[in-house]
Amino acid sequence: FVKELKEGTGLDQDVSQYVLQQDASEMILAHSKRLIDDVIPLAKEEGKSSMTFAVGCTGGRHRSVALIEALAVTLRDQEIEALVTHRDVEK
């Protein structure tokens, strides 16, 4: 918990940067990227037109937002469309 970042969200660069530099976030992103790399080809092979990938955290404003935004960048870098919705970011 960082008091100065509490009012921000994972969409703010300072909050995102702080979240993504944490060891736990690096581990979660690495595992998630491997999962995506394994699952996307299988989904395409089966003719799936969409997939849902969800990330949650206690408040839904900081960690989950920063993590899913980082994963969306990974998908877009692979030329995969990523529609991101943050359910609780405005709470």
Question: Can you tell me the distance from the alpha carbon of 7 to that of 37, in angstroms, rounded to the nearest whole number?
Answer: 34
Tokens of 78: 């692979």
The sign of the dihedral angle between the CA atoms of 77, 82, 86, 87 is negative
pLDDT digits (tens, 9 = 90+) for 24-65: 999 999 999 999 899 989 998 999 988 898 888 888 878 899
What is the per-residue pLDDT across 2-35, written as a single tens digit (0 to 9) for each?
A: 888 888 888 999 999 999 999 999 999 999 999 9
- Radius of gyration in angstroms for the set of CA atoms belonging to the chain, rounded to a whole number: 14
Cβ atoms of 60 and 87 within 8 Å: the answer is yes
Measuring CA to CA, which residue among 23, 40, 26, 48 is closest to residue 75? Answer: 40
What's the token pair of residue 73?
């960048």
